[in-house]
Amino acid sequence: MKKFLSVILVLAISLCGVFALVGCSKNESKNFDMVFITDGGTISDGAYNQSAWNGVKEFAEEENMSCRYYQPNVDDNGNLDADTVGKYIKLAVDGKAKYIVMQGEKMAVAVDKYAPQFGDVNFLLVDAAPHAEGSTTIDGFNNVMTVTFDTLQAGYLAGYTSVAKGYNKVGYLGSVSDKSSASYGAGFVQGVAKAADESGIPVLCDYANYDAEDLDYDYSFTIQPVYQKITISKETTYKVKVKNGLGSGVYADGENVTITADKPAKGKAFDHWEVKSNTEGVKDKKVNISSDKKSTMNLLVGDCDCTIKAVYKDVKTFQIIVAKSADLSLSSLYDTYNVEENSTTLVTAPAAESGMTFDHWECDDKDAVEDVNSPSTNVKVTNKDITIIPVYVKSDVPTFDVTVYGGTGSGSYRSGDHVSVVADPPKDGYMFYKWENVDNQGLSTGIAMTNEYCYTTDFEMIDRYSSIAETMYNNGTQVIFGGGNSQAESIFTATWKMSEQVYAFGYGYDQSSMGNCLTSVVTDYRVAVVNALKDYKGGSYYEGNCSNNCLYVVDMSTQKTYKDKDGNEVEDKNYNEGYANVYKALGDGTIKPNLPADDVRTVVNSKCMTLNYWVK
């Protein structure tokens, strides 16, 4: 009986968990005319989900239709699987939905896969187009209508507004390989030129494609240890000599130093540490180490100079061979570890080359490697040599090169990677002082070391694209726009590092919550959803632009007055005549921004704007 009740309870909890995921509605009915499926975010995200959901609700209310939303689960990395979305599509279909609305690129593959299965249901996909997974070919279906936005016009509004608000040094940071970014950027510089020529005031516009091969900028940076003469130190210092290991140097009294034994030779294994005081009258036991049995331990510096020696014992050993390939030629070897039989050793893959990233380990003995997907993993050796091969692939996100002069740790790393660096031992008469890091423009890299005053330390690789925005700001740029590219948040990152007040210009939705946001050009999902549903036609697309009020800039108004809640005519303090005229001209086609084939400089012809194009 208890077992039966337990099963019932588990089922009840499971069902509650399922229905907790599918949103909420005032309507108790299981059937709904319209269903909005979020991209995994909430309908109160202050961005695209909320705006699209507001459009669904508005249309449903006008047409006297019922509606609800579903919020699918995302995985630990924030990814949304197409089959997961498919379950909610089927749930909506079972609920007799006439319309299913979704937004964003995350939903493109799901619509491509499931819309053909439900030909009687009308799908609306906002700001994306259906395509199969791994394909760039857009597929059209008779029951799918897509919503696009005129990003040329959006960029034009952002450029015009930047100057109209009084700034004469503006910038665009974008991607040469992203069509959306190219469109936003081209519109931006043309809008800047329009505003500059109207005002007659000279305007400088920086323009940088951060992933262009000919970009006049280098994201790599260097790290190096700084040593100082012992005589300069005002603290009491002691000399530490490590034999058969790392950690030699001169250190301040009370400093905690990590000491690591060298890797054992063939037929040897680390056994213990021997310590000896090198200061007359101070006994050896004053050498304060945390363990004499661990190959990596800590020394608390004080009382005496000392020598610390790693001692090895004779044992039967086998090799862990880290190689580029299975041929095991000398040129293919990365590293070797001599280890005792039936032991486990931590092995770390060499740092990736530029543009690459570690993917997995290959090993004939599948049970030997604890985690084949981790660059640092335990490898178990029983009674034979083991060869493991680290496999690298082209990184799908930016990588940044780090060169360590006077130490180890050089490599190519992605944002979020853990990087360890170790300084070379100092020359006689010198002691390690601190780490120094600088990029190739002489600017701070922005990395935060765990302890910059320790000869062995680590840090987490950060987004280096913010450095190009920093350079723009340091050169006097006041506002930078990054519409349409995946690294636009790097601009906001850079604004917080400046001592003067500088701004980022947001896009897509109102990004004022990010701070240091001058304003944002908004692609209005709410209006676009309402308009598209009113004029729904499967197999077609609806373009949001200035002619149908699907674009606008926050805090910029096209109307001189508005009516308050009491019906009184009130002057709109956000009205800007120039902006209003440009908005109207974009809407009726009087102004038609151009999209260049490759170089944005070809679309600019301005008397008052100078375009600083960042190429070598």
Give one DSSP letter per residue of 493-530, joined into a string: HHHTT-SS--EEEEEES--GGGSSEEEEEEE-HHHHHH
Confidence of residue 330 (pLDDT cuts 50, 70, 90): low
More confident residue, 227 or 135: 227
Confidence of residue 599 (pLDDT cuts 50, 70, 90): confident
Bridge partners, 314 (sequence order): 268
The amino acid occupying position 9 is L
CB 426 within 8 A of CB 249: yes
The answer, yes or no, to whether residue 12 has pLDDT greater than 60, is: no
More confident residue, 547 or 463: 547
Average pLDDT on 283-307 reads: 94
Residue 351: the pLDDT is 87
* Span of 11-20, 537-546, 563-572, 587-596 with lowest mean pLDDT: 11-20
More confident residue, 93 or 134: 93
Confidence of residue 528 (pLDDT cuts 50, 70, 90): very high
Give the SS3 label for residue 354: coil
Task: Output the average pLDDT for the chain.
Answer: 89
Rounded to 5°, angle at Cα 117 from 116 and 120? 85
The answer, yes or no, to whether residue 563 has pLDDT greater than 90, is: no
The count of residues in the chain is 616
Q: Measured between alpha carbons, how far is residue 493 from residues 418, 490, 496, 514 in Å?
A: 20, 5, 6, 10
The amino acid occupying position 396 is D
Full DSSP string of 118-180: -TTSEEEEES-----TT--PPP--TTEEEEEE-HHHHHHHHHHHHHHTT-SEEEEEE-TT-HH
CB 305 within 8 A of CB 277: yes
What is the distance between the alpha carbons of residues 305 and 250, in angstroms, rounded to a whole number?
9
Q: Where does CATH 3.40.50.2300 sit in the chain?
A: 22-149, 151-217+466-522+552-613
Residue 427: the pLDDT is 87
CB 299 within 8 A of CB 257: yes
What is the distance between the alpha carbons of residues 366 and 363, in angstroms, rounded to a whole number?
6
CB 67 within 8 A of CB 52: no
CB 454 within 8 A of CB 247: no
Residue 23: the pLDDT is 42
The answer, yes or no, to whether residue 241 has pLDDT greater than 80, is: yes
Bridge partners, 203 (sequence order): 609
- Give the H or E element holding residue 183: helix 179-199
Residue 147: the pLDDT is 97
CATH number for 22-149 (one of 3.40.50.2300, 3.40.50.720, 3.30.930.10, 1.20.120.140): it is: 3.40.50.2300
For the segment 573-584, what is each residue's pLDDT rounded down to a tens digit? 999 999 999 999
Residue 311, Ramachandran bin (φ over 0: left; ψ between -120 and 50: alpha; else beta):
beta
Confidence of residue 28 (pLDDT cuts 50, 70, 90): very low
- By DSSP bridging, strand 418-423 and strand 407-408 are antiparallel
For the segment 382-417, what is each residue's pLDDT rounded down to a tens digit? 989 999 999 999 987 778 899 999 999 999 998 888
Residue 469: the pLDDT is 92
For the segment 150-169, what is each residue's pLDDT rounded down to a tens digit? 999 999 999 999 999 999 99
The answer, yes or no, to whether residue 615 has pLDDT greater than 90, is: no
Alpha helices in 34-119 (DSSP H): 48-62, 82-94, 108-114
What is the distance between the alpha carbons of residues 265 and 337, in angstroms, rounded to a whole number?
8
Contacts of 188 (CB under 8 A, 6+ apart): 155, 156, 158, 159, 162, 172, 481, 483
What is the distance between the alpha carbons of residues 216 and 616, in angstroms, rounded to a whole number?
5
* Topology of the domain covering 151-217+466-522+552-613: Rossmann fold (3.40.50)
* 561 φ, ψ (degrees, to nearest 5): -135, 165
What is the distance between the alpha carbons of residues 584 and 547, in angstroms, rounded to a whole number?
8
Average pLDDT on 428-450 reads: 83
The answer, yes or no, to whether residue 425 has pLDDT greater than 50, is: yes
Give the best-scoring range by mean pLDDT among 425-439, 440-454, 519-533: 519-533
The answer, yes or no, to whether residue 25 has pLDDT greater than 50, is: no
* 354 φ, ψ (degrees, to nearest 5): -55, 130
What is the distance between the alpha carbons of residues 32 and 25, in angstroms, rounded to a whole number?
10
Average pLDDT on 588-600 reads: 91
Residue 204: the pLDDT is 97
Sign, Cα dihedral of 331, 337, 341, 346: negative
What is the distance between the alpha carbons of residues 149 and 528, in angstroms, rounded to a whole number?
9
